Structure 1
């Protein structure tokens, strides 16, 4: 993801108390960039192993078992770093989160792991203020990546920063039909990871196909009789615990309470909140997170295997 997009999305997300699922970019194996040195002990972004190209560009090592979508984001970051180095600048590539794992420790797919996570961090909101240096807290890796991105321009003059921005994104104000046109090394990286840009007609066709596939997945999950019955029991349990139920659809229930907590945090999120002020709020969050986990235990055990077979993504993520 480009540094400017990473910074803006991260700041917005942390201010709102919500972590975005950074999947704006999407792959095939192999970086498409030649590397020179063997694996080194150095790290980049959120601490991934790296190699170095012959001209000194840092390259992330793609972990074994990484899914195709996430591989593409690694390829994008590596290609961006290599291209910027050729332009005489440093760009620190940032390790991509495995697709769909932003809340993996607490989403309830693995009940035991989720219980351990939620007992300390709740849903991962107020724990950022209580445990500011804990890498297990949701958003910490992204904050580190944003800081590293900012450091790439440290020490540059105003003219050099302007040249850096041009090398990264291409000439300013380049737009097509009012939409900012991708350029510079971002375009180079986008092409390396995802192939040449599609025409407007091709892009529309692809978007419509994805939307239809997603609609069918949602229909399969929400129309599953067993899931519907388990969802009713899940919702009933939440109501008994005094928790508001805004949906009983199988696709909406797994993250419903999490999103409710996030929406109540407010416009400014936890920015500036002291540990002392956050502690009682975290205790309440933990209580809600554990009640949600227990009420949804049977539902999640049945839901996630079917979700894996029919991945569905709502507008909320």
Structure 2
């Protein structure tokens, strides 16, 4: 997956498979403390991190971001035609949406630990972050049994399992193969390029096409991508007028894609979403 990074800071981004409706997720359901259920693991991990940090002489407040999702977004995530059309009419595939219009699931400043870190000197912050990484790795293993080397490694392992499940359970499903093939034929008839009819490729085809356009723009602007991990780039700075032009083309393509996939998406998206939730729970994350 190609990940855009702002010029101000780099971030590890998890692979979002529910791209047809945007990368959004509901808040994890609360369970009784210590129940050990999948939805309880995020809080258990946070408590373990806090205890570990305390042992290293640092203050850390257990905190799980609360992410709210409206009913419309929830329906779109599961392939509802009307809600997907409403979203795509405004945002296309979500690639060239102006930064000001993007709604983050949560902000880092929402965390009580943000205020704690802001009080540290540069040297103290470096020590804090190093300790936090170690404690997070330890907590994930303690709660889930998963052995990870870093946040990036955790995301990579999670993504790999999600992709394996999709390949095994969805890309070989006869019904989805038939629906994806019909969607592909429809898009070809509208003049769009279709390189693969595999269900997972059909779901990502449109966003991948516009993501590649944005990547090419970024690689050819005046800001070098030196030192960035492979496949990542700084998000290009485009004028409002230029962004509007790209978004208009993207919206049209996204709506055509939806019309051709109006039978495919309701069959595919609920299943890929279930896989993403299930694997996320294995890693102690509330997707």
The TM-score with structure 2 as length reference comes to 0.61
CA distance in 1, matches of 2:239, 2:131: 40
Change (3 A) 1:166 1:219: closer
**Alignment counterpart, residue 29 of structure 2, candidates 55, 63, 85:** 63
Instruction: Establish whether residue 153 from structure 1 lines up as the match of residue 117 from structure 2.
Output: yes
Instruction: Establish whether residue 231 from structure 1 lines up as the match of residue 200 from structure 2.
Output: no
CA distance in 2, matches of 1:275, 1:236: 35
Report if the CA contact (8 A) 2:166-2:275 is conserved.
Answer: yes
Change (3 A) 1:254 1:163: closer
Instruction: Give the gaps of 5 or more residues in structure 2.
Output: 17-23, 32-36, 149-156, 219-232, 280-287
| 1:72 alignment partner in structure 2 | 41
Change (3 A) 1:115 1:108: farther
Report if the CA contact (8 A) 2:166-2:200 is conserved.
Answer: no
CA distance in 2, matches of 1:79, 1:310: 26
Change (3 A) 1:307 1:92: closer
Change (3 A) 1:217 1:262: closer
Change (3 A) 1:258 1:71: farther
Q: CA RMSD in A?
A: 4.4
| 2:19 alignment partner in structure 1 | none
**Alignment counterpart, residue 21 of structure 1, candidates 14, 27, 39:** 14
| 2:264 alignment partner in structure 1 | 299
| 1:250 alignment partner in structure 2 | 199
Give how far 1:291 is off.
0.9
| 2:145 alignment partner in structure 1 | 195
Instruction: Give per-residue Cα distances to partners, 1:255-314, cap 9 Å, x unaligned.
Output: 21111111211145644334333111111111111111111011223334555687799x
Give how far 1:154 is off.
2.0
CA distance in 2, matches of 1:223, 1:196: 28
How many residues are treated as equivalent by the alignment? 230
Give how far 1:82 is off.
4.9
Report if the CA contact (8 A) 1:75-1:193 is conserved.
Answer: yes
CA distance in 1, matches of 2:186, 2:48: 49
Alignment of 1:10-159 (within 5 A): 12-14=3-5, 20-21=13-14, 62-64=28-30, 71-85=40-54, 87-90=57-60, 93-95=63-65, 109-129=79-99, 131=101, 134-135=102-103, 140-141=104-105, 144-145=107-108, 152-159=116-123
Report if the CA contact (8 A) 2:88-2:254 is conserved.
Answer: yes
Change (3 A) 1:150 1:125: farther
Which structure has more relative contact order (CA 8 Å, sep 6+)? It is 2
The TM-score with structure 1 as length reference comes to 0.56
